[in-house]
Structure 1
Amino acid sequence: MIRHSTLSASGAGLMALAALVGAAIALYAYFTPMTGVTGTPGALLVVVSSLALLAAGVILWLRSYGFVYWALIVLGFLGVAGTFAAGWFLHEWLLMAAMAVVAVGLVLALFRRSTSAVEGN
């Protein structure tokens, strides 16, 4: 049986991994000539936002309760929406796919362990 804490940790891990992939895609677009966004501030901003989502995923993986947890969930969804929009404007379709996976990870991270649910089993 899958426990809620396992889903939460899996979601945070998926979020961190997908954000790392997003950062790699953005770095590739930023540094590789002929991508159309080489050296642009928008591409650099996407690198930074993807790294921020990576950091949020790692923190969510280590912490599964409290104000910081919920603040990172909310800020994570806002970060995903903004980075997804930036991927759209930069025509980076793989980055948009990575952000969709980050969003799935965030949704899975919402299934955190509840002490009353565990005691009832």
Structure 2
Amino acid sequence: AAGAQAPDPLTAAVAAGLRQGRSVGEVARAVGLGARQLHRRSLAAFGYGPKTLARILRLQRALALVRTGTAYADAAYAVGCTDQAHLAREVRELTGTTLGGYLAGIGHGAEDARSGTAQPSGDGR
């Protein structure tokens, strides 16, 4: 660790902006970088590009909401997914499993996932 380079000071600002749900373009402008430069710095800092980081952070926000009892559809809407199916695709692509399966696998909401009590509200959001 002593020989490691100091972290890029912009990466904290990039992560914070994306964590707030801002678009990659918005974050790039806010930190004063072009899209390609932001992508290169993100690869170096996080191991993947800013869009993938934004997807991961959005998934984390959705999971936090679901853990508090928010219905899947409501959590999807709150984090900016177009609908619950969009959130379901994101979960499957990023984790390789369903939202209920993921929550059960980490030991949170396993009963809800099995019983369906944390399932969508049915209002189509």
Q: Give TM-score scaled by structure 2 length.
A: 0.34
Name the one with the larger helix percent: 1
* Bigger relative contact order (CA 8 A; separation at least 6): 1
Question: Which of the two has higher C-alpha Rg?
Answer: 2
